A = this chain, B = another copy of it.
């Protein structure tokens, strides 16, 4: 799995708690990766067990105590190994294409409706991403080559590219379907 490695990557620059990581996962990181807090805490426990992360308990005033995790030398080694090894992509699953298999059974009208719904969502997604991109540049981040911003910017670009690609395919597909009797 690579949730382990995603978490390792997220704590290399600074120690973080499970809560911090969960917040990141529900923010911009969510464009390309996701995890529930339950899964995060479970994985953190494993990472600590492997000694890829070290914990430090922190007592806070007026807030619950928290645990700050930081990467160990062993963790850094593991990360490097993982990055270098070829990443087999998970078998892409596309529900829309499965639904298209049912064309004969359910008829084209149902499928056109399904595709239209999806199109709407994809358009909204694209707009959201593009808004974020605009903010990105208007907020004084002229030089995306700044280390800190590179990965954020690239994941945004990834989201935008993919939303556009999906929309193209949806248009194509709707045309084919609508062309049918």
Contact = CB atoms under 8 A, between A and B. Distances in A.
B105 A80 contact: yes
Contacts of A154: 97, 100, 172-173, 176
B84 A158 contact: no
Interface stretch (A40-48, A53-61, A111-119, A130-138): A111-119
Given A9-B102, A101-B9, A105-B76, A34 B91 contact: yes
A144 B180 CA distance: 10
Interface residues of A, number: 65
Nearest to A35: B91
Contacts of A100: 150-151, 154-155
Contacts of A12: 101-102, 104-105
Given A111-B83, A168-B161, A97 B33 contact: yes
B32 A104 contact: no
Contact of A173 (B93, B94, B157, B164): B157
A5 B169 contact: no
Contacts of A102: 9, 12, 79-80, 83
Given A9-B99, A89-B95, A165-B165, 9 more contacts: A9-B105, A33-B93, A79-B106, A80-B102, A104-B147, A145-B180, A150-B180, A161-B165, A164-B165
